[in-house]
Every structure is written in C-alpha cells, then in structure tokens.
Amino acid sequence: MWQWNKLTNSMNGTNLPFTNGLKNTFLESFNDQGDLHFAVVASQPLTKPVFVSINNLLCEELGLDPGVISSESMLSLMAGDLSELNLQPISLVYSGHQFGVWAGQLGDGRAMTLGELEVKNTNSGETQLWDIQLKGAGTTPYSRFADGRAVLRSSIREYLCSEAMHGLGIASTRALCLVDSKTPVYREEVESAATLCRVARSHIRFGSFEHFHYRNQPDAAKNLADYVISRHFSDWVGEDDRYGNLITHTVTATAKMIAQWQAVGFSHGVMNTDNMSILGDTIDYGPFGFLDVYDPDFICNHSDTNGRYSFKNQPSVGLWNLNALATSLMSLIPSELLVDALKTYEPTFLRVYRELMSTKLGLEEYRHSDETLINNLLALMAENQVDYTLFFRQLCYFSEDQREVRNLFIDREAFDVWVELYLQRLRQQDSSDSERSAIMLQTNPKYILRNYMAQAAIEKAQQGDYSEVNLLLEILQSPFEEHPHANHYAGLPPDWAETISVSCSS
C-alpha cells in the first residue's frame, strides 16, 4: 500500500495531507527559466461547493483517511479555495497536433497542479511522486478566452471513466474526489461548475516536447527530458542512452495501452498529441466511449467528422503520434535510434493484443492459427451487431453443453461454424471448462462505463442526487465481480442510448 508523506498543515483546525507535504519539483526544476515550461496561477473558488463523491478506494490505496478528505476544510481546498494555504499552483504549457493538424501553443487551460506528493510503498519501501491537480478551478494563461471551468457532466464522465480504466487494469490518471457547486457556467446552456481532483504519475505529454521543438528551443526540450528521466527513471540518469531509453519506453508503453483499449472495446475519441502521456497512461477523458455492439468503424466523438479517431484507427493513430513525438526529440536522439524505437511499436501492440484476445477466449496461449479464429469471430460479431462486452462475458460460461451465447447472433448457423473451430482449439488444452471459466471471468468484465450509464448518473446529479455516481464508482472499480444490486447495468443498453451524442465540448 502507498502511504502519503506525513507532513501536514493546519487549515481551520483540520490537519490536511495536502499542504507542507506537497512539493513542486517541476516548478523547482524550471523556476530559473521563468515561464518557459509553466505559469504560476491563482485559483478561483467555486460558490457553495458540495462533494459529489470521494474515491475511498484511492484514499485507502494511498493511506489517506477518507474522514479527513471529507472535511469542510478539504472541501474548500478541493473547490479551489487556496487562500489560507502556502501553495503555488502552476499550469503547464504544451502544444500539439489536433486531428492531425498542428495547433500551436495550447496548455493547461482549466487545470492547475497544486504540487507533487511523495508516496511510500510500505511493503517495498519504494517512493513515488504523484501530481495533485485541480481541474476546473479557473482561468490560466493558456485558457484561450475560455472560462477555465469544468461542467459537472464532463467531470462525472472523467471521474467515473478514469476509475473504470484502472479497474480494468489499464494505466490511467485517477481522481480523488469530485465537487459540484452553484457557480454557473455557460455552454450551450447554463450549467453548474465542478472541480475534479486528478491524481497522476505525470501530466507531461507528447505535446510538451513538441512545444519546444517547434519553437526551436532544444535546450528546453532537453531539460524537460532530463526532468522526466530523473523523476520516473532515476536509474538512467547519467547514462549516454537515457534519451533513447525514454522514447523506447514511451513507444512500448503506448503500444501496450492501446492494445488494452482495443481488447476492452474502449475508444478515446480525441487522440491528439497533447492528449498522449509520455508515460503511456490514459489521460484526458473527453468524448470517450466503450463499444456497445462491435463496430470497428465506431466514432465516439461527434466532432470527429472524418473518423480520424474511430475505434479501428486507434492503433495507427498511436504510431502517428509517436512519430510526432520522435520528431520533437531529434535534437536529443540520432534518427536511426528513433527509427529503431518506432519499429518496436507494431510488434509490441500485436503481441499484447493477441495475448489479451486469447485470454478473453479462454486460450492458455496464443498460437499463429488463432489469428484466423479471432478475426473470424470479430467479423461475425460486426455482421450480427453483437454486443462486445456482453458476448465475451457470456462466453465465460460456454461449453459443449452450454451454448446460450449463440442467442446473441442473428445468423446462428454462421456462429455454429465458428464454434466448431473454437471447440477444436479448446480440446487442444488440458484445462477443464470450470478452470477456463474462472480465468475468463477475471478477464472479461461484467461492467463497463457505457454512455447511457454515465448519462443516467449525470441527470440525477444535476438534480442534486449523487447516488448513481457513487453506485457506478463502486461497480466500475471491480468490474469483474457480480454486484447483484447493479444487474440492470450488466445487460444490453436501452434503445435510447443510441441517441446520446458526445463531443469535445462535453
């Protein structure tokens, strides 16, 4: 278990673990360079804040007392009131390619990092720094004429999805708590402003390096790379090949992450280079969506009119983005080493994806002949518009005598043909049906965050009822368990779910 640094500060008589224990190694590293990498910012507190949800599981993992987090003093802090604290929040600058087009300078337009907390693993003794960031606490120099606020609906979606991804075993930013308020914000209509406290290993992006490359500031790019290495890969400090190690790590971690996205049916929706983490973590949850029916052409972002970020395109876009990152590191790494690193992407992606899909099918190992078995199944699911998550969950109970999963298909005879090939493959294994089922049940989730589920939670929360947010948080944190009280979320989505539209502004 991770345990917070015990340094605390008193705010209105309450000990808070978010004060003197916070450091800002990013600010300390670059303060002598002025505003080159960041800007010091001031928060703008929300009016009449109220907790929507506190992530008790994350509190427990980090050794935090949920009672302290739920205090009035912590509520004020999480709503952006830093007036009684000696904190110097910062917002980071970055640039990026958006929908394949160079967008120039961007940056944290509605996010500010309060600092980094040192967390110690009480078992291994290992320490790690975690960024503590408030999203929606007001304008920054990078807000670009926007209000720096986050609306409740999009904050709920990010809060739930970051935990859903963590529950699925996919590297992700997480969120400690979510706060609602009476502060109005103006989008298509008047909505309530919210703040989200994000916890992440890092918020450095591909676009962070692109920013300095395209401004012809190689020294700043080098300093940023040195910072990432010293914070996350201290064993590499001083090594001649440390920058090559960094790009290779980013390539392989990104390939693994996107393979996991594809295996669980997750579509990010806005894979711009400024939304890609240098560590290969899933970051920036906007117009995401999980597959309902299996559709490789699925586009979850209403703003993506050309389908650049469709589900099937995610693996190739990942490589495109990594090429953009490699270009921004040309002042640090010889081109032949960059090419060698990029060449590891496809084999890493395919290896991880094939292993994941094999496990989803209950296969003990991937064999070359399984490629046809997997591809034929996915083609059959697409043709029959079969629900992706529901199919694989029902397949966990499949045997020669139990074939209820067949009922998900319109063309059942075609499915029967595939099943015979599947049975032949299963007979090549020594495991029993029950042994295979037990493994598959821990691989194929019963619950994912479907858009209609998030929408149901949003509509209740907008009326002041946060119960659905917390119910979904509970089941998404352990998506492979049964949760009988939430079975209504384990079946096919309602017909009205198809009418939900999510865009970059959501």
User: Active-site residues: which are they?
Assistant: 274
407, two tokens? 């009922």
Q: Per DSSP, what are the bridge partners of residue 197?
A: 134, 177
Cα angle 281, 286, 289; round to 5? 85
Q: Per DSSP, what are the bridge partners of residue 277?
A: 205
Name residues whose C-beta falls within 8 Å of residue 29's C-beta, 6 or more positions apart in sequence. 223, 227
284, two tokens? 């920036």
379, two tokens? 């083609």
Measured from the Cβ of residue 453, the count of other Cβ atoms closer than 10 Å reads 24
Which single residue is written with the structure tokens 């109220």?
Answer: 50
493: which DSSP letter? P
Element (H, E) at 469: helix 467-477
Which single residue is written with the structure tokens 């946060």?
Answer: 466
Which of 446, 417, 445, 422 is closest to 433 using CA atoms? 422
Element (H, E) at 415: helix 412-426
Dist CA 133 CA 156 (whole Å)? 16
Query: CA 23 → CA 1, 27, 121, 181, distances in Å?
Result: 21, 9, 18, 28
74, two tokens? 């912590």
Dist CA 431 CA 446 (whole Å)? 23
Return the amino acid letter for 210.
Answer: E
b/e sequence 277-312, b meaning 16+ C-beta within 10 Å: bbbbbbbbbbbbbbbbbbbeebbbbebbeeebbbbe
Which single residue is written with the structure tokens 């395209």?
Answer: 214
99, two tokens? 């929908």
Measured from the Cβ of residue 358, the count of other Cβ atoms closer than 10 Å reads 19
